[in-house]
């Protein structure tokens, strides 16, 4: 499932980069939808699409995201089921993924910095393989040059000690690393890793899709039963609670296909 090098890299850094895993026509369509949906008022979004970044607890200049985009167009369902990405998600969830969020984020040069944060501490090695209880697959729809975008404290997912308070997302290596990517690359990281994002610098908006998974139970917010007909059976099943020892059909199907 993971190569020896991927297994080592993820354990060492807390993230993995998959290069060029999304077809160009899907990237174009997701950007088109991102431009359309991000231009709408919250009340105009086609339900169950919503934007939890638009409530008053967030800064108005936060890099806004739109949630539940998998219900908005099949292109986001294709991204969820992307075999290269699922190969890693299945490995890191011990073959037990529950999809808890699909969010399409837009960063502008006026969007706020995203300071270091981390969620959960559920990371470890079991039977010689790394696993993570809360994983984020962040696919970039645009080229993100060096100096802007995703940053992290590599290795911080092990959480043996808390990092110092005065670290900045603008600090450099070896403590802070910035991860430049191209359109169609996916950075898969454990949310236990301290991560954030530097201010966007380019003339075009930065669009990213963040698909999040847990390996036990469910999130509660998904699936959206009322909108069940807008997603495929496989996506619906991926949104069901993860129960150890009960493998989902969609996982079996992807594993079988990866074997051939
Ligand atoms: O924009 C990024 O690359 C980081 C996003 C982030 O911090 C998050 O999804 O929690």
Q: What is the pLDDT of residues 157-214, one digit of tens each?
A: 999 999 999 999 999 999 999 999 999 999 999 999 999 999 999 999 999 999 999 9
- Residues above pLDDT 70, as percent of the chain: 100
CA of 191 to the centre of ligand 1 (A): 10
**What's the confidence (pLDDT) of residue 56?**
78
**Cis omega before residue 223 (within 30°)?**
yes
Looking at residue 14, what is its pLDDT? 98
Q: Residue of the nearest CA to atom 3 in ligand 1?
A: 150
Is the beta carbon of 192 within 6 A of some atom in ligand 1?
Answer: no
Is the CB–ligand 1 distance for residue 150 below 6 Å?
yes
What's the pLDDT tens digit per position in 28-45? Answer: 999 999 999 999 999 999
- Pocket-testing residue among 64, 197, 202, 212, ligand 1, by greatest number of atoms within 8 A of Cβ: 197
pLDDT digits (tens, 9 = 90+) for 206-255: 999 999 999 999 888 999 999 999 999 999 999 999 998 899 999 999 99
Secondary structure of 193-232 as H, E, C letters = CCEEEECCCCCCCEEEEEEEEECCECCCCCCCHHHHHHCC
Q: How confident is the model at residue 20 (pLDDT cuts 50, 70, 90)?
A: very high
Surface-to-core class of residue 125, CB atoms within 10 Å of its CB (0-12 exposed, 13-18 middle, 19+ buried): exposed
Position in ligand 1 atom list of the atom nearest CA 206: 1
Give the distance (Å) from ligand 1 centre to CA of residue 195.
Answer: 7
* Calpha distance 219→221 (Å, rounded): 6
Mutate to test the pocket of ligand 1, among 115, 145, 195 (most ligand atoms within 8 A of CB): 195
What is the pLDDT at residue 38?
Answer: 97
| CB of 120 shorter than 6 A to ligand 1 | no
Q: Ligand 1 pocket, 138 CB below 6 A?
A: yes
Q: What percent of the chain has pLDDT over 90?
A: 95
In which residue are the tokens 């969007």 written?
111
Instruction: Say how many Å lie between the CA of residue 253 and the centre of ligand 1.
Output: 30
Classified as helix, coil or strand, 118 is: coil
Note whether 157 and 192 are within 8 A (CB): yes
* CB-based contact 100:221 (threshold 8 Å): yes
Ligand 1 center–CA 246 separation, angstroms: 31
Q: How far apart are CA 169 and CA 114, in angstroms?
A: 8
Q: Inform me whether the pLDDT recorded for 126 exceeds 90.
A: yes
Residue of 49, 70, 47, 37 lying closest to 232 (CA atoms): 70
* Beta bridge partner(s), residue 135: 190, 213
Q: How far apart, in whole angstroms, are the C-alpha atoms of residue 148 and residue 170? A: 9
- What mean pLDDT, rounded, does the chain reach? 96
Measured CA to CA, the distance from residue 150 to residue 75 in angstroms comes to 24
Its pTM stands at: 0.97
Q: Which CATH class is domain 4-259?
A: mainly beta
Choose the residue to mutate in 120, 136, 140, 188 for probing ligand 1, maximizing ligand atoms within 8 Å of C-beta: 136
Q: Which residue lies with its CA nearest to atom 8 of ligand 1? A: 196
């Amino acid at each position: 499932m993971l190569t020896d090098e991927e297994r080592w890299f993820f354990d060492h850094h807390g993230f993995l980069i998959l290069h060029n895993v999304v077809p160009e026509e899907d990237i174009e369509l997701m950007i088109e939808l991102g431009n359309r949906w991000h231009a709408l008022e919250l009340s105009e979004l086609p339900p169950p699409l919503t934007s939890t970044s638009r409530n008053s607890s967030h800064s108005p200049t936060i890099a806004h995201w739109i949630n539940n985009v998998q219900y908005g167009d099949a292109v986001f369902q294709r991204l969820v089921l992307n075999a290269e990405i699922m190969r890693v998600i299945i490995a890191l969830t011990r073959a037990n993924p529950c999809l808890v969020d699909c969010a399409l984020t837009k960063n502008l040069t006026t969007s706020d910095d995203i300071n270091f944060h981390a969620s959960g501490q559920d990371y470890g090695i079991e039977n010689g393989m790394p696993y993570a209880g809360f994983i984020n697959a962040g696919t970039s729809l645009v080229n993100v040059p060096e100096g802007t975008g995703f940053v992290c404290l590599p290795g911080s997912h092990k959480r043996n000690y808390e990092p110092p308070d005065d670290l900045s997302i603008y600090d450099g290596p070896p403590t802070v690393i910035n991860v430049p990517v191209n359109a169609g690359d996916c950075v898969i990281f454990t949310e236990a890793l301290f991560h954030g994002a530097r201010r966007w610098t380019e003339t075009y908006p930065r669009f990213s899709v963040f698909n999040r998974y847990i390996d036990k139970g469910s999130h509660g917010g998904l699936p959206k039963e009322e909108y069940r007909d807008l997603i495929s059976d496989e996506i619906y099943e991926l949104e069901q609670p993860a129960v150890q020892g009960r493998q989902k059909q969609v996982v079996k199907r992807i594993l079988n296909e990866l074997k051939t």
